[in-house]
Amino acid sequence: MQIGSNTSYDFGSSYNIQLNDKQMLVVDEDPLSKSQFESKKETEDKKAEQNKKTNNPDDLSEDEKHLVKDLASRDSEVKAHEAAHQAAGGGMTGAASYTYQQGPDGKMYAIGGEVSISSPSGSTPEETIKNARQIAAAAMAAGDPSPQDFSVASSAKVMEMKAQQQLSKEAQEKALGKDTYANITDTNQHSPQNEARKLDIPA
């Protein structure tokens, strides 16, 4: 194979090799690859700078320090709020899940959270009332209930009220049944036939 002058050969994306008029090798860097390399290096430098800030909180600006303080405070509030729900809910609450935000210091802070609460109706009205009261207590356990907490507590109150109505209905039916039986018995004892039988019994 014969190589002519000023012949260019591509050996990958980073370099271009060619022969000049004097048959000497000339290596030219690909300007596009060079700019990509420099861009990548700048990104890595920025990451290194961010990691340096993460390791040294003193390198943060005053605004960044203030934001970190606010995020740390919010993180504590959110976690305490959800822990209160869990403690009051007993076996009816699930695990807490959180929404996080990364601070200027590189750390993740909880800015929102939730705890699932199951609402079993119970096999009896009494059991349903007990469950509803525990759900309401779990929903309102945190010092600063959210609108969602109020909504859950309200639903639990409705559940309790329905169970109370069912309990009252059962008690009423039971009492009515006893009254009916008592009336039937009383009527039978004072019927003319019973009176006649009483008279026929020899002394």
pLDDT digits (tens, 9 = 90+) for 164-203: 999 999 888 888 877 666 555 555 555 555 554 444 444 4
Instruction: List % helix, strand, coil for the chain (3-state, nearest 5).
Output: 60, 15, 20
Supply the pLDDT for residue 72.
Answer: 95
Cα separation, 73 vs 76, whole angstroms: 5
pTM of the full predicted structure? 0.55
* DSSP count for the chain of H helices, then E strands: 5, 5
Per residue in 38-72, pLDDT (tens digit) is 566 676 666 656 655 455 666 888 999 999 999 99
Whether residue 75 is predicted with pLDDT greater than 80 in this model: the reply is yes
Mean of the pLDDT values across residues 115-142? 87
**pLDDT range class, residue 17, cuts 50, 70, 90:** very low
Start-to-end CA distance of the chain, whole Å, equals 148
Whether residue 37 is predicted with pLDDT greater than 80 in this model: the reply is no
Supply the pLDDT for residue 154.
Answer: 93
**pLDDT range class, residue 139, cuts 50, 70, 90:** very high
Supply the pLDDT for residue 122.
Answer: 76
Supply the pLDDT for residue 59.
Answer: 82
Mean pLDDT of the chain: 75
Cα separation, 4 vs 39, whole angstroms: 36
Supply the pLDDT for residue 65.
Answer: 92
Look at the block and give the residue holding tokens 């194979």: 1
Among 143, 99, 97, 136, which residue's Cα sits nearest to residue 119?
136
How is the chain split into domains, by residue range? 8-55
Where are any strands of DSSP class E within the chain? 8-10, 15-19, 25-29, 93-102, 108-117
